[in-house]
Structure 1
Amino acid sequence: MSSHVPTKNALLIASACLLGLLSTTGASLPYPILAPLFGNDTGSALTSFLGLPPKLLLGIALMVNPLGLLIGSAVLGAVSDRFGRRRILLTTAIGGAVGHALTAAALVTESFPLFLLARFATGLLEGNGAIMRAMLAERLTGGLRNHALSWLNGAFHLGWLFGPLLAGLTVGFSITLPFSIAAGALLLGAALVAMALEREAAGPTLGQRWWSVARERHAFTLLRQPPLRTLFSVHFAYACGVAAFYEFFPLWLVDVGGYDVRQIAFVNMGMCALMTFAALFAGRASTADPRRRASLQAGLAALAILAVGFGNLGVGLAAIVLFGLPHAYYNATVQGWAADQFASHGQGAVMGLLSTTFCLANIVMALAGGLLALVDTRIVLVVGGAMAVAAALAMRSWSARAVGIRADTTRELR
């Protein structure tokens, strides 16, 4: 972080990045653990619940965490607009630690229902990413805000590196150890954030309860605005492609390469390391229309996803790692543009809409992908790549329409 950033702002950015790192570390833990656990059909009560196919159970297990994230992302940002960022952040961080402890208990008892409940609750509380983005978007301005949002994305990406790596290095000792470590780290992170962030005055509540605010001001209320509906539809298509990739490339590695937890973790580490590095620079200013840049970035990400679906093991491994580069730039571009363009709607709600869109895509692709994977895991990746291509084309068309409108307006003024 540059030395010219004021100390107060530096502390704000560092605190948000720390909590973002710890949150996604816990969220990403199960991915390299679940694919071999369900893909290899161990015959435990956890992987044979109600006699259902293990791969179908994997799809359900992958779905519930994003379902919780969907609800949390939709409401937590708006709730923090009204009741204060710090208060809601600390509540969700401590609750997330409890969720990891319940996940460990479910694995010990081989209880699939408890596992689903724990992952849902953890996802619900990990929807606090929208709060962190909103906190940076409203307290910072100009280039520093764009850089801070990109650095926060880098922290999230780094969590996707640390989580699988932690799982790969510790699961050999005990399948519950990674979740226990994640719970302890999240509690430590909450304590550090409590010390670092100043108490803030909550917005006017007018006697409302948090559930009343959540019901009336959730992120989907923004879809009444036509430009935000367009953003939702385009971003949703791209997010479906990314979700198909994230959720099923570990299973593809199991099917195609026979990879185990540790090998999957190291592949994921390479992808997330590149993604994190790219996020350090992705917030730089550009004179090009952000939507045109996002179109190119989405197209490159789509090519990487399709390369995994159609390629052999070597091509797929290279594509998995390289995917991190365009995806990091896409996130920085879209989030920075949305923060500038739609600030009047409340940064918590706007950032919540982006997070909610991604969570909804994860749910859709977990369900659809779980069924398609019964036929062939590669089909899931090809469908995901096609949806990312559609998003790239739609984003380019949206940019062209906007440029055309501006040109017509300029001619009329002359």
Structure 2
Amino acid sequence: MTEQQAKRSLYTLLLIVLLSCAGIALPYPILAPLFLNEVNSFTNFAGIEPKLLLGFLLAVYPLGLLIGSSFIGAASDIYGRRKVLVITLIFSALGYLLSVWALLSENFLLFALTRFITGISEGNIAIAKAIAIDLSPPLDKTRNYSLVSATTYAGWLLGPVIGGLLQPHGAHLAFLVAAVAMLFAIVVVYFYLGESNRSKNQQKDTHLSIRRVLYQNNSFTLLKHKSIRRLFYVFLFSTLATNAYYEFYPLWLVESFNFSGPNIGFITAILTFSMILGSVYLLPFVKSKMGLVSGSKISMLLFASMMFVHFYLSESASWFAYVFIGVTIAIYNAMLPIFASEQFSDVSQGKLMGLITTTFSLSNVLMAIIGSVISLYGSVYSIIFGGLLMLIAVLILHFIRPEQST
């Protein structure tokens, strides 16, 4: 692949990541008002409390993402990145279209099923990460990954804004727009994204059935390697820490300073924007000055320290603190996967990126349960707990030596 072809593939990939992540995040401002403000057969399914129904729907999607991430990246190693990406985007589009039908017909079970299917198919973020790795050389791996990370954050910022604007016109409209975005993404991938995976395994193993990919070649099979297991624990504890922050800082802001919904949205936008700037501008500098391991450890330690100071943050100081937190998250979130890729360059990158994405989804589910119990004593303790978990991740990373291999 020439540098010009690689750049075209990268720019196409960034557009797909933006559309996909915006589509994922677009429904979130829709669901809470729907279940809290409307009374119908959908929001009162089987006479169950609406908040419990909402909680179920919020859990179904990451569960699907957990399953999809475990095999979609590995499948792209075998069948090709472009082919698997198109198929998963088709299922995403179908999932969103069926969600529209479920909302219009007030069919709760169908809606839950479509969120689960959409979650599985959107495990394709592992493919995007693998393509970013594939394009090096001729492009710089760190630069590629930082741009993918920044675009991911931009999608998560753009999606809720669009969803909030569409919400007054009907809950189904957001899902319809997401479906259209996925259909557009399919066209772009089909005509503009070249195949980046030219490995021998792709040519040799294309006869493998989906069943064998699911049971014998999924991302979890990498854990049989001792050195990969060590790195898996780093990702597990660091993503548990990150999710402790993501999931409970809104609750802390409400409990501590009585933040309103718009204020939470605004400070989240500031947090996300700082992550984008950190990924694009600061990440390459930190890598060149400190290296992947030292840069990761320092940013992780800074993140942990900011979790601990939540005990003392004032309302005005929290706005500045969240800018700093966003930058630290952006650095270690990008550096750790790059380190994993370089550490285990002999491993199928789609499968490896799938393991990383799966770990984040797993930690999302675990922290939602664990953190909720801890938050009964105060949401700040859930955040402090995240800081402790990050220290564990740093300790494990400290004892991983770059020369270790599988």
Q: TM-score, normalised by structure 2?
A: 0.86
How far residue 322 of structure 1 moved from its aligned partner, in angstroms, is 3.4
Moved more, 132-141 or 227-236: 132-141
* Structure 2 residue 168 is the aligned partner of structure 1 residue 172: yes
How far residue 71 of structure 1 moved from its aligned partner, in angstroms, is 1.2
How far residue 109 of structure 1 moved from its aligned partner, in angstroms, is 4.7
CA contact (8 A) 2:23 2:181 kept: no
Amino acid at match of 1:354: I
How far residue 51 of structure 1 moved from its aligned partner, in angstroms, is 5.6
How far residue 143 of structure 1 moved from its aligned partner, in angstroms, is 6.5
- Counterpart CA distance in 1 for 2:91 and 2:53 is 25
- Counterpart CA distance in 1 for 2:216 and 2:381 is 39
Amino acid at match of 2:215: R
* Structure 2 residue 205 is the aligned partner of structure 1 residue 205: yes
- Counterpart CA distance in 2 for 1:148 and 1:171 is 34
Percent sequence identity over matched residues? 33
Which residue is equivalent to 1:117? 113
How large is the RMSD of aligned CA atoms in angstroms?
3.0
Which residue is equivalent to 1:83? 79
Amino acid at match of 2:219: A
For 1:91-136, what per-residue CA distance to the aligned partner results, in whole angstroms no more than 9, with x for missing partners? Answer: 1112112222333444445544333322221111111111122122
State how 1:85-234 maps to structure 2 within 5 Å.
85-141=81-137, 144-198=140-194, 202-205=202-205, 207-234=207-234
- Counterpart CA distance in 1 for 2:323 and 2:111 is 30
- Equivalent residues, number: 396
Amino acid at match of 1:294: S
- Counterpart CA distance in 1 for 2:9 and 2:274 is 25
Which residue is equivalent to 2:302? 300
For 1:151-174, what per-residue CA distance to the aligned partner results, in whole angstroms no more than 9, with x for missing partners? Answer: 111111111111111122222332
For 1:146-198, what per-residue CA distance to the aligned partner results, in whole angstroms no more than 9, with x for missing partners? Answer: 21111111111111111111122222332232222122112112211211123
Amino acid at match of 2:78: R
- Counterpart CA distance in 2 for 1:377 and 1:46 is 31
What SS does the corresponding residue of 2:168 show, helix, strand or coil? coil
CA contact (8 A) 2:74 2:218 kept: yes
State how 1:387-406 maps to structure 2 within 5 Å.
387-395=389-397, 397-398=398-399, 402=401
- Counterpart CA distance in 1 for 2:341 and 2:307 is 28
For 1:258-277, what per-residue CA distance to the aligned partner results, in whole angstroms no more than 9, with x for missing partners? Answer: 523x5544332222211112
* Structure 2 residue 338 is the aligned partner of structure 1 residue 332: no
Aligned with residue 6 of structure 2, among 6, 9, 17: 9
- Counterpart CA distance in 2 for 1:307 and 1:55 is 32
CA contact (8 A) 1:164 1:265 kept: no
What SS does the corresponding residue of 1:171 show, helix, strand or coil? helix
Judging changes above 3 Å, is the alpha-carbon distance between structure 1 residues 258 and 36 closer, same or farther for their aligned structure 2 residues? farther
- Counterpart CA distance in 2 for 1:171 and 1:33 is 6
- Counterpart CA distance in 1 for 2:148 and 2:234 is 23
CA contact (8 A) 2:6 2:139 kept: no
Judging changes above 3 Å, is the alpha-carbon distance between structure 1 residues 195 and 233 closer, same or farther for their aligned structure 2 residues? same
Q: Which runs of no fewer than 5 residues in structure 1 stay unpaired?
A: 407-414
Q: Which runs of no fewer than 5 residues in structure 2 stay unpaired?
A: none
Which residue is equivalent to 1:410? none
CA contact (8 A) 1:305 1:319 kept: no
Which residue is equivalent to 1:243? 243
Which residue is equivalent to 1:349? 351
CA contact (8 A) 1:164 1:269 kept: no
Moved more, 207-216 or 365-374: 365-374
- Counterpart CA distance in 1 for 2:372 and 2:31 is 13
Q: TM-score, normalised by structure 1?
A: 0.85
